[in-house]
Structure 1
């Protein structure tokens, strides 16, 4: 059979045409893959760069925070242990006295003396118990809840004078200056309704009211006003008590109080520093640290310190044996 001389040539042309078509297609595919790979590499590089930048920023922030914390810690240690000159104490005292709006019923050191007779009316033959407090302080709350029923009964019977020192040391742990606001409120109520200030303080320290020092939640003025009314304070006095009338005075008094050496701890890890609560009896430091370490009963210890049998708590005419000038009786 004769062969077609053009058949082979036609086949070769078809093959050549097919190869020619695939070549640019393959090239385009390779180019697309390469472009995709390059794009992926660029995106990955961008991600890595971004992560490195973020890590650098975080590192800078962490270093800055550490530096700030170290600085704060250093300042606190320095402040707690630095020598306090008489000139510094005097300047701080003078600054408190220079405040224009301050309660007339308070003494020059920031205390309100409350007795059966009223504000600033001392019963001469009865011991005077000074209590320095911050209304966020958990230790102050514990002391009040333990000792307040006894102190209140004795005060109402004319057996002791109570001298309260509202202070503001813990504002930094709150979001709304709770320590300063409540100290100012107590000062206002002490000045304008001294008959109910002890009850109001007890309600501020009540276990179901006192805010947490470690997990503080804001407390509104309205809530504080309601608490005052609950304590027996007239509504008009309660409303004005949260106006911050004595905030500036409280701030200055709170700066002065820790400088008073007679208030510094005489034992324990905070020896040489002032902490709250602080208690003095007839101007003699009552060492709560030693009492606490003895694991004894606080009420019994207090009664022994002033010299009063438990059976005579709240009995008019039965005065503690140390009187108005004696030193606290030591625990044996």
Structure 2
């Protein structure tokens, strides 16, 4: 074989080796870029998931700044009405949209208020808002926040009675419109103020409303109204007797006489 032919073969082999080296380097770069791309996608997904989780997480509740004035309990989730020295305590868990709560209130309100005015019973209200979660809408939460706004200026009891007297049908969710709640405040002397309107529209006690509902979720109770008399279930019955205006009066008077 001539030297020229041998040189040509060597050149061809060299070019082949160089081409293979270039292809290997290219393949390596592609793998590196692919790995980097996958890592970036994973990081982006992780960031997005983190943002979504954070946005859906309820803000931390701080009783010192998030609770309305005059609330009681370790976390200030309870609204008290009446003389704290009363021997009988009526604990009531209610949802503003709850029709059974409306029925209970409209039947028992005159008796409860009379016993409270006579300093024979203190009422401790837990304003829950789970019906929004089951039926959709925002009337429960809006109503609960409006009640907290009223409590913050010492008008809870009167406004509470107004809301249940004017409670819309559960399926209508009329209180999703905050202006309706503000209009009802006109029925309570001294409540219809710019400050109250701002509190309702701004959902000022939204964190407190969520905290009260979270507490209810952990309580073991599952429906409203839940009514306890000195810690014993009193609705629909108390010690084997049906809840009624006459029976509640009898029960409270018996406790008061002890």
Q: What's the secondary structure of 2:204's corresponding residue? A: coil
Give the TM-score normalised by structure 1: 0.52
Partner of 1:157: 118
**Are positions 1:247 and 2:210 aligned together?**
no
Match of 1:182 among 130, 143, 166: 143
Contact 1:136 1:211 survives alignment (8 Å) = yes
1:147-196 per-residue CA deviation (whole Å, 9 max, x = no partner) reads 11111122223222121111111113243x11111111111211212xx3
Q: Deviation of residue 256 (structure 1)?
A: 1.8
Give the Cα separation in 2 of the matches to 1:256 and 1:297: 25
State how 1:23-102 maps to structure 2 within 5 Å: 96-97=61-62, 100-102=65-67
Match of 1:128 among 86, 89, 92: 89
Structure 1 unmatched runs, 5+:
1-94, 117-121, 265-273, 307-319, 327-332
Give the Cα separation in 1 of the matches to 2:123 and 2:175: 30
**Are positions 1:200 and 2:152 aligned together?**
no
**Are positions 1:303 and 2:249 aligned together?**
yes
Q: Deviation of residue 126 (structure 1)?
A: 3.3
Partner of 2:189: 232
Q: Deviation of residue 285 (structure 1)?
A: 2.4
Q: Deviation of residue 232 (structure 1)?
A: 2.1
Contact 1:99 1:249 survives alignment (8 Å) = no
1:98-135 per-residue CA deviation (whole Å, 9 max, x = no partner) reads 6842224212261111115xxxxx1x143121111100
**Are positions 1:322 and 2:246 aligned together?**
no
Q: What's the secondary structure of 1:163's corresponding residue? A: strand
1:276-300 per-residue CA deviation (whole Å, 9 max, x = no partner) reads 10111222322x2446x97x56112
Partner of 2:231: 283
Give the Cα separation in 2 of the matches to 1:156 and 1:148: 12
Task: Give the total of aligned pairs.
Answer: 193
Give the Cα separation in 1 of the matches to 2:164 and 2:247: 21
Give the Cα separation in 2 of the matches to 1:98 and 1:219: 26
Give the Cα separation in 1 of the matches to 2:169 and 2:64: 31
Give the Cα separation in 1 of the matches to 2:206 and 2:150: 13
Larger Rg: 1
Q: 1:277 to 1:96 in 2, by over 3 A?
A: farther
Q: 1:158 to 1:231 in 2, by over 3 A?
A: same
Structure 2 unmatched runs, 5+:
1-59
Contact 2:69 2:151 survives alignment (8 Å) = no
Partner of 2:218: 259
**Range 129-138 or range 249-258, more displaced:** 249-258
Q: Deviation of residue 275 (structure 1)?
A: 1.0
Contact 2:92 2:126 survives alignment (8 Å) = yes
Partner of 2:131: 170
Give the TM-score normalised by structure 2: 0.66
